[in-house]
Chains A and B, each alone.
Chain A
């Protein structure tokens, strides 16, 4: 059985950039977007007029619209405000806390607060729209990749983003596992590989065993707070500190200046991957009473590496942890695969070389996807809060998915009818240090003496790493209701409302785009017609000319009125007239030749011409 009857796309929804791939003739192909790029910046912006921009055009205007240009939103998806205090200071847009202490993104231009899921959904919507255009087919199903180290809330939120974008998310796949596919397609035997994935905002390490089409993750580890953006920030701080020392102004307080600094920092970082020194020029970065101020400095690779030494050191930890969890020595690893833009940093490659003692493999997508299966693991232990605020582990990390575990709960007091269970994810001893996935409340327990009711709660983690919880009363065999509160994901109602809103906006967008297209067509038709009128001025009968000019005015008026329907009808009318013009010009034998000579012999054809005119006129009046 196979479900390849419809187009399914694979989406790499990155912190900074996103990409889409689809199967074309049995081979994975990266889809180019409407702008012709293979990656699309994961950026959404709202302009002063309330227009929404997505991708490259949104990124381009970020400097002038820093408070309404949303990037690196992946860092906030499925998070509570308290989990992202540091990151929230690194972005020029405003984050606010909603009633449930979840992160909301504030857009001053639209006077709205968006869930990170909604912003990501906008990116997904653009990606799939471009993919649909590229594939010339409907795109409604997708597989989305997430960092392996994403917790349940982050996965669920990513899935919700897909739903808001109108997609059916068939599967959430871990990024390093997806990357291993590119490498391990044609491996027949058995190989152990380590994927080192340092992206824009997250760092993942996975150890896999690959062979016979089975990609089995042995362990995964990572750091959700480490990525290319952190390297950029080091350069930004270096520039800002330097400026503060010499000029006494903190550029980080000026959102526009900060945005320019961040962009320059990223550029410098990229350049330092190829060069040993780069220059940073930011004219008119700010102004004081003395006049405009500029940044003109240079940065060496050595200095950059020194600034980032602690970040580089942090890269070692997950590698060692992943190996330890897989019960392997680095010598047992046959291949190391580097994935993610930040692995282009020479110092990062050096770290990998130092850990492994060999050269890493920069993987290239190749081979044919046929009969394969991905066996992923859960990156974090799942547990419950028990007496004394301790976390009791239920499913240990690195357990192969899908998996399930049941636990029987009872009451602590006589006549108690509900039990609350705080579900946690993480490796720490105490509940408060771990991520709470929410409080699950079991209601409707029949009143009885304490300890008598027995409620079996089943925790299922599916192949996507997403948890679902079901409860049954062991006495009655009845399914128990579960209410979840305090989760950092959207409620079902919220998702549905957002789906509707997004659909509405998509409809409006489509209308607006059509209006713009019509306007462009109308303007170009006016221009072409005017040009032709001038060109064939001497060949056109006066009546034809007059009627064309009349219709031209109508189109111009329609364009000025911004009325799409009027533009369309007046354009059609003008086109009919233009055909007449063509006939008037080309209907004359030897059209375009020497007019003087052909003039007299044109006696016959004008009759035809006239006839043609009549027909068209009749047709035209018909339309009226």
Chain B
């Protein structure tokens, strides 16, 4: 399972550093243990992990590659269950 750090921070994958930063800061103001009184400590820890990756151009690239790889594999995994609708959708694309 690959977790999308973009999804965690609620930003599009095209977001620039400033957008990611703003999203992280807004979330930190809500979820840091000082603000949530420990209730969201784990949530903050994973949020922070996402930010540490996305703020670093090198780590972000690796994460992008992981996500891309995941997406390539995903259809393969679910191939058995592809329905007619899906096939049409793929065909349109």
Contact = CB atoms under 8 A, between A and B. Distances in A.
Interface of A: 1, 171, 190, 211-214, 216, 371-375, 400, 402-404, 462-463
Interface string B18-39: 1001100110110011110100
A404 B38 CA distance: 14
Contacts of B21: 190
Given A212-B22, A400-B48, A373 B29 contact: yes
A171 B34 CA distance: 9
29 contacts: A1-B37, A171-B34, A190-B18, A190-B21, A211-B25, A212-B26, A212-B29, A213-B25, A213-B29, A214-B25, A214-B29, A216-B28, A371-B29, A372-B29, A373-B28, A373-B29, A373-B32, A373-B34, A373-B35, A374-B34, A375-B28, A375-B32, A400-B48, A400-B52, A402-B33, A402-B44, A402-B45, A403-B45, A463-B33
A374 B35 CA distance: 10
Contacts of A171: 34
B67 interface: no
B41 interface: yes
A371 B37 CA distance: 15
Given A171-B34, A373-B32, A463-B34, A404 B45 contact: yes
Contacts of B52: 400
Contact of B32 (A403, A404, A463): A463
Interface of B: 18, 21-22, 25-26, 28-29, 32-35, 37, 41, 44-45, 48, 52
A212 B33 CA distance: 18
Contacts of A374: 34
Nearest to B33: A463
A477 to B, nearest CB: 18
A463 B44 CA distance: 11
A403 B49 CA distance: 9
Contacts of A371: 29
Given A212-B26, A373-B35, A403-B45, 20 more contacts: A1-B37, A171-B34, A190-B18, A211-B25, A212-B22, A212-B29, A213-B25, A214-B25, A214-B28, A216-B28, A372-B29, A373-B29, A374-B34, A375-B28, A375-B32, A400-B52, A402-B41, A402-B44, A404-B45, A462-B33
Sorted nearest first, the 8 A-B pairs with minimum C-beta distance are A214-B25, A373-B32, A212-B25, A463-B33, A400-B48, A373-B29, A373-B28, A214-B28
A190 B28 CA distance: 15
A149 to B, nearest CB: 21
Contacts of A213: 25, 29
Contacts of B29: 212-214, 371-373
B22, B26, B33, B37 pick with most chain A CB within 10 angstroms: B33
Contacts of A214: 25, 28-29
Nearest to A374: B34
A371 B29 CA distance: 7
Contacts of A211: 25
A211 B28 CA distance: 12
A235 B52 CA distance: 46
A214 B35 CA distance: 12
Nearest to A399: B52
Nearest to A189: B18
B86 to A, nearest CB: 39
A579 B76 CA distance: 102
B15 to A, nearest CB: 15
A374 B26 CA distance: 13
A515 to B, nearest CB: 44
A25 B48 CA distance: 33
A214 B37 CA distance: 17
A262 to B, nearest CB: 40
A470 B54 CA distance: 30
B76 to A, nearest CB: 32
Contacts of B25: 211-214
Nearest to B37: A1
Nearest to A213: B29
Contacts of B33: 402, 462-463
A463 B35 CA distance: 11
A190 B35 CA distance: 21
Contacts of A372: 29
A461 to B, nearest CB: 10
Contacts of B34: 171, 373-374, 463
Nearest to A371: B29
A513 B71 CA distance: 75
Contacts of B22: 212
A371 B30 CA distance: 10
A290 B29 CA distance: 72
A53 to B, nearest CB: 36
A212 B32 CA distance: 15
A167 to B, nearest CB: 18
A190 B18 CA distance: 9
B29 to A, nearest CB: 5
B61 to A, nearest CB: 15
Contacts of A462: 33
Contacts of B37: 1
Contacts of A375: 28, 32, 48
Contacts of B41: 402
A169 to B, nearest CB: 14
Contacts of A400: 48, 52
A552 B26 CA distance: 72
A375 B29 CA distance: 10
A214 B44 CA distance: 14
Nearest to A218: B55
B37 to A, nearest CB: 7
A175 B29 CA distance: 21
Nearest to B32: A373
Nearest to A170: B34
Nearest to B24: A214
Contacts of B44: 402
Nearest to A460: B41
A528 B87 CA distance: 105
Contacts of A1: 37
B66 to A, nearest CB: 21
Contacts of B18: 190
Nearest to A212: B25
